[in-house]
Amino acid sequence: MQLWIRFLIVGILSLCMAWLLSYLPELETHFIGEQNELQVFNNDNPFTLTEKNIVDWVVTVPLHLDLIRVDWSDRILSVDFEAGTPMETTEVIYNQLLEFVYYGLGGTTNVNRVWVRLVQTPEGAEPQPKRLLLALDAHRSQISESDYQSWKNGQINVEQFIESRFQLTVTPLWTRIQLE
């Protein structure tokens, strides 16, 4: 066989291999499940939160509300979400609060407390300070994998669960909005 035919065959095989290898990332997402899904309570790959990787971690958390602030200090993770205009449903808001609590506490090794606040920017021509609607304070000792699975399977009413398990502060403004 001539030398140039061998080079041609090796070249074609190399191109085919490179082309097939380019599909590996797509196959991985089909087998793992949802892309960007963080394995909460997975002790195989514990995630240690630091100032340097907090942005990378936040990107993995499913967000349904606008995230306006994240702070990490002294093993406490605190975040602020914007309620939006028009405001999301109560179910979406409570699910977001609980989602962030479980990702913050169950998906990391060094977060002991999560503070989540829901704020609203008043409408108007002049810039006004944001108004607090809800605040949630959760400790690592208050979460469990069985509760997480029950919530993900739809077996738990999220609002009642949050009110019974965590410290939830409700402002009069939130109560008034809920009655409207």
Looking at residues 29-45, what average pLDDT do you find?
52
Q: ∠134-66-113 over CA atoms, to 5°? A: 50
Q: In this predicted structure, what is the pLDDT of residue 71?
A: 93
Q: Can you read off the two tokens belonging to residue 132?
A: 């607090």
Match 């975040």 to its residue by tokens: 79
Looking at residues 32-56, what average pLDDT do you find?
67
> Is the pLDDT higher at 133 or at 24?
133
pLDDT at 165 over 50: yes
Residue-wise pLDDT for 81-126, tens only, equals: 998 777 888 899 999 999 999 999 988 889 999 999 999 988 765 6
Q: Can you read off the two tokens belonging to residue 143?
A: 């979460």
Q: In this predicted structure, what is the pLDDT of residue 113?
A: 95
pLDDT at 42 over 60: no
pLDDT at 35 over 50: no
Q: In this predicted structure, what is the pLDDT of residue 170?
A: 94
Q: Is 147 helix (H, G, I), strand (E, B) or coil?
A: helix
pLDDT at 173 over 70: yes
Q: What pTM was estimated for this model as a whole? A: 0.72
Please state, for a pLDDT cut of 90, what percent of the chain lies above it: 32
Pairing of strands 113-120, 76-82: parallel
For residue 51, the tally of other CB atoms under 10 A from its CB is 8
Q: How is 39-65 classified by DSSP, letter by letter?
A: -TT--SSPPPP-TTTHHHHHHHS--SS
25-34, 71-80, 119-128, 153-162: segment of lowest average pLDDT: 25-34
